[in-house]
A and B are shown apart, each in its own frame.
Chain A
Amino acid sequence: MYALLALALHSAPTAQAQDTIDIGVLRNDDIAVVQEMLYPKLDRTEVGVHLGIMPFDAYLVTPNLQFSFNKHMQESLSFSLVAGGGYGLKSATYKELESPTFGAAPYAYRYLGSVLAGVEWGPVYAKMNLDGAHVVHFDVYLAGRVGVTVQDSVIPVNEGSIGIAPTVSPGIGARFWTNDNMTFRLELRDDVAIERRSITDTWHVKQNVNVSAGLTFFSQKAGR
């Protein structure tokens, strides 16, 4: 055993000192200290486009497109305007109900569009190390918006097919910065609409829960 070890050490190459290489002088402004780097939002305008889907309704699945506008009045508070449109498609369950086996049709209203305005409050700003190589900046915000939702009866109706429903929309979302001016944004919101159903002449609360993902673009930092 000791003989083998002695043989191995004897045959190992000897380390040789090499010439040093000058790679230049590191100046102070070349040093980016991750801990101090932030993507500020204050006084900046943010516009975005988002693809969404409302997947939680048993009878309707609604792909949609949303446009957002934010004016960041504070680092953690912004005015938010979201407008979008989509079309509620009958789900497989709805189609099965319509079949001769069941002969039924849920009196549902499909989402056509909405305009919502309110505030976003984002007290959380954080960085996340991804794979030991990348640092992702993100924030988490809560949204509270009000507005109107335009809906259409799935059952063809002569009068009152289109309904405009007052809507309250709480939501939660997150921005992931890709650079100083652009973020990838995820949001889950619940449009709680007060709708009138014309055939039965009744009022109901309808929830359009929307999951969306999109890109937003920030204006240049003011005076920096």
Chain B
Amino acid sequence: MRASLFLVGLTTLCTSCNAYDLFSLSGYQQDTFSNRADVLFVIDNSTSMVEESVDLALNFGGFIEDLSARESNTGRNGVGDAVASYISYVDDRAAFVDYQFAITTTDVDKQAGAYSVTVQRGDSDVAETFTNGLLCDATCFTNPQSLGNDPSYLCGEPLSEQEEVTTQYLECVCGSVEAWLDNCGSAKEEALEAVFLAMCRAVENPPEECFDGFEIDGEVFEPAFTEDDVLSNEGLLRDNSTFLPVIVTDEGDDSRREAGQEKIPEAYLELFSRFRQRMAWVVIGPALNEDLSTACPGPATSWGSFRYEYLVYDSNGLKIDITDGDCENTEFRAALDSLGDLLQNLSTTFPLSSVPIKETLQVAIDDKPVERATEEGLDRLGLPVYSDGWTYRADENAVVFHGSAIPSPNADVRVYYLPLDGMPRELPF
């Protein structure tokens, strides 16, 4: 009798189920990783920026070569090379950043965010097209005498083989002197407005603010964007891409929608969020001292420069001082190398599908748990500095990685959590 009872009890135990909490899982694996990077160079084409633009042009070819170096190691002959190339692509997508570059200027009155040139990975002459667009349309050459002179130059010789930009080169690639001389922009650099308008031009249904005129500090601004401009930048923002505005300037931002000397560009942060586009800001701009004053003499404002620093911080982007410690122009090759690194490590923010109970968040990369980052202090902007690891950002409902914890593009990133509102759907098990 006792044995029978025991057997009945044992059978009951065996057939009962273990109860488990079901965690929501946001997984980011290779097959969902997007290596698309839409890069918009916003060039300050004021008179003070000629030297920097020329440096950028001279170094851009090498940057593209570096970016494509690993891809070019695979051949292009026949099915075998195609298979090898595909396998390399699947194994290491970081080596295959699907980039496109476009150029606009900080001059909103004249260009209003319209891009002057666009090139994509796979184009046969990416560097040449880009540098020609930069020099011909977005650089403020005011005096031909200040340029190099090389009567022996033959049209078609690439810029990468030249030591300097010469008038002969510009005449070959741009045409007549009128085409490249005096393409100077306003002294009021409005990089943020230019980026906003460029985005307005890129989407089918722009936010209504694109069309609005407005008044700031008693000054009335007519709309710089009309229905005719819709999709004039078509293709600038691709699906599931990261949009990288790269601002190259020696001054701070003076965009029209921010009142006075606002340091944090709240108005533009709100406007950019309307596009629901993942963004990472890159600024090659004025250096700031520890006390947030401008590090080098010049027209740059500290509050305008602070806006850039804030955007870079907020988007896990990249800030490169346009001058070195001696207030000389920075090495643009090194700056572009840093941009290349950023292009290959864009994935720092991983949005979640549901709002989590924060205490239950667990993050793993390649099945290894990652520690929650701790706040280690404040940087010179007064913004938190974190240890290596991850933090949860409630405003984006996303997990953000910091420091050495930033996963490589090939990593299998998984975020586990209990949703605040329970599991969003009934499970069939």
Residues of A in contact with B (beta carbons under 8 Å apart): 56-59, 93, 97-98, 100, 102-108, 142, 155-158, 161, 170-172, 188, 190, 192, 197, 199-200, 204, 206-207, 209
Does residue B64 face the partner (Cβ distance < 8 Å to A)? Answer: no
A58-B429 contact in complex given A105-B416, A107-B22, A108-B20, C-beta closer than 8 Å: yes
Other-chain residue from B359, B369, B429 in contact with A156 (beta carbon distance below 8 A): B369
Does residue B18 face the partner (Cβ distance < 8 Å to A)? Answer: yes
- Contact flags B1-33 to A (C-beta < 8 A → 1, else 0): 001001101100111111111111111000010
B360, A104: Cβ atoms closer than 8 Å:
no
B362, A158: Cβ atoms closer than 8 Å:
yes
Other-chain residue from A104, A197, A199, A207 in contact with B423 (beta carbon distance below 8 A): A104
A199 / chain B contacts, CB cutoff of 8 Å: 359-360, 362
A58-B17 contact in complex given A156-B362, A156-B367, A156-B369, C-beta closer than 8 Å: yes
Please measure, in the bound complex, the distance between the C-alpha atom of A104 and the C-alpha atom of B416, giving whole angstroms: 8
- Ordered by A's residue number, 25 sampled pairs between the chains whose C-beta atoms are within 8 Å are A56-B15, A58-B17, A58-B18, A97-B22, A102-B425, A102-B427, A104-B25, A105-B25, A105-B416, A106-B23, A107-B20, A107-B23, A155-B362, A155-B364, A156-B364, A156-B367, A158-B371, A158-B372, A161-B369, A170-B10, A190-B10, A197-B21, A200-B360, A207-B13, A209-B13
A156 / chain B contacts, CB cutoff of 8 Å: 362, 364, 367-369, 414, 416
A98 / chain B contacts, CB cutoff of 8 Å: 25, 27
Please measure, in the bound complex, the distance between the C-alpha atom of A102 and the C-alpha atom of B223, giving whole angstroms: 46
Enumerate B61-76 residues with CB–CB distance to A below 8 Å: none
B372 / chain A contacts, CB cutoff of 8 Å: 158
A97, B429: Cβ atoms closer than 8 Å:
yes
In order of increasing CB-CB distance, the 10 nearest A-B pairs are A156-B364, A106-B20, A156-B369, A105-B25, A107-B21, A158-B369, A105-B23, A104-B22, A190-B13, A209-B14
B367, A93: Cβ atoms closer than 8 Å:
no
A104, B427: Cβ atoms closer than 8 Å:
yes
What's the nearest-Cβ distance from chain A to residue B54, in Å? 48
Other A-B contacts than A107-B22, A170-B13, A204-B19, 7 sampled, CB-CB below 8 A, are A102-B425, A156-B416, A158-B362, A158-B372, A172-B6, A190-B10, A197-B21
B15 / chain A contacts, CB cutoff of 8 Å: 56
Does residue B322 face the partner (Cβ distance < 8 Å to A)? Answer: no
B32 / chain A contacts, CB cutoff of 8 Å: 100
Enumerate B245-292 residues with CB–CB distance to A below 8 Å: none
B19 / chain A contacts, CB cutoff of 8 Å: 204
Does residue B102 face the partner (Cβ distance < 8 Å to A)? Answer: no
Please measure, in the bound complex, the distance between the C-alpha atom of A170 and the C-alpha atom of B10, giving whole angstroms: 8
A105-B22 contact in complex given A98-B27, A158-B362, A190-B13, C-beta closer than 8 Å: yes
What's the nearest-Cβ distance from chain B to residue A56, in Å? 6
- Contact flags B400-429 to A (C-beta < 8 A → 1, else 0): 000000000000001010100001010101
A157-B369 contact in complex given A103-B353, A190-B10, C-beta closer than 8 Å: yes
Other-chain residue from B23, B370, B425 in contact with A155 (beta carbon distance below 8 A): B23
B13 / chain A contacts, CB cutoff of 8 Å: 170, 190, 192, 207, 209
A103-B24 contact in complex given A97-B427, A190-B14, A204-B19, C-beta closer than 8 Å: yes
Please measure, in the bound complex, the distance between the C-alpha atom of A198 and the C-alpha atom of B32, giving whole angstroms: 30
Enumerate B333-389 residues with CB–CB distance to A below 8 Å: 353, 359-360, 362, 364, 367-372
B27 / chain A contacts, CB cutoff of 8 Å: 98, 100, 103
Chain B residue nearest to A171 in the complex (CB): B10
A142-B6 contact in complex given A156-B367, A161-B369, C-beta closer than 8 Å: yes
A142 / chain B contacts, CB cutoff of 8 Å: 3, 6
Chain B residue nearest to A189 in the complex (CB): B10
A170, B6: Cβ atoms closer than 8 Å:
yes
What's the nearest-Cβ distance from chain B to residue A161, in Å? 7
Please measure, in the bound complex, the distance between the C-alpha atom of A188 and the C-alpha atom of B24, giving whole angstroms: 34
B17 / chain A contacts, CB cutoff of 8 Å: 58
Chain A residue nearest to B19 in the complex (CB): A204
Please measure, in the bound complex, the distance between the C-alpha atom of A172 and the C-alpha atom of B11, giving whole angstroms: 11
B26, A103: Cβ atoms closer than 8 Å:
yes
Please measure, in the bound complex, the distance between the C-alpha atom of A117 and the C-alpha atom of B219, giving whole angstroms: 86
B370 / chain A contacts, CB cutoff of 8 Å: 158
B362 / chain A contacts, CB cutoff of 8 Å: 155-158, 199
B371 / chain A contacts, CB cutoff of 8 Å: 158
A107 / chain B contacts, CB cutoff of 8 Å: 20-23
Please measure, in the bound complex, the distance between the C-alpha atom of A201 and the C-alpha atom of B53, giving whole angstroms: 58
What's the nearest-Cβ distance from chain A to residue B38, in Å? 25
> Which of B27, B418, B429 has most chain A Cβ within 10 Å?
B429
Chain A residue nearest to B29 in the complex (CB): A100
What's the nearest-Cβ distance from chain B to residue A123, in Å? 8
> Which of A59, A107, A171, A206 has most chain B Cβ within 10 Å?
A107
What's the nearest-Cβ distance from chain B to residue A100, in Å? 7
Chain B residue nearest to A121 in the complex (CB): B3
A97 / chain B contacts, CB cutoff of 8 Å: 22, 427, 429
A161 / chain B contacts, CB cutoff of 8 Å: 369
A209 / chain B contacts, CB cutoff of 8 Å: 13-14
Other-chain residue from B9, B25, B418 in contact with A200 (beta carbon distance below 8 A): B418
B23, A207: Cβ atoms closer than 8 Å:
no
A157 / chain B contacts, CB cutoff of 8 Å: 362, 369
A197 / chain B contacts, CB cutoff of 8 Å: 21
Please measure, in the bound complex, the distance between the C-alpha atom of A58 and the C-alpha atom of B428, giving whole angstroms: 12
A104-B24 contact in complex given A172-B10, A207-B16, C-beta closer than 8 Å: yes
Please measure, in the bound complex, the distance between the C-alpha atom of A223 and the C-alpha atom of B26, giving whole angstroms: 67
B7 / chain A contacts, CB cutoff of 8 Å: 172
Please measure, in the bound complex, the distance between the C-alpha atom of A128 and the C-alpha atom of B416, giving whole angstroms: 54
Please measure, in the bound complex, the distance between the C-alpha atom of A69 and the C-alpha atom of B423, giving whole angstroms: 46
A200, B21: Cβ atoms closer than 8 Å:
yes
A188 / chain B contacts, CB cutoff of 8 Å: 10, 14
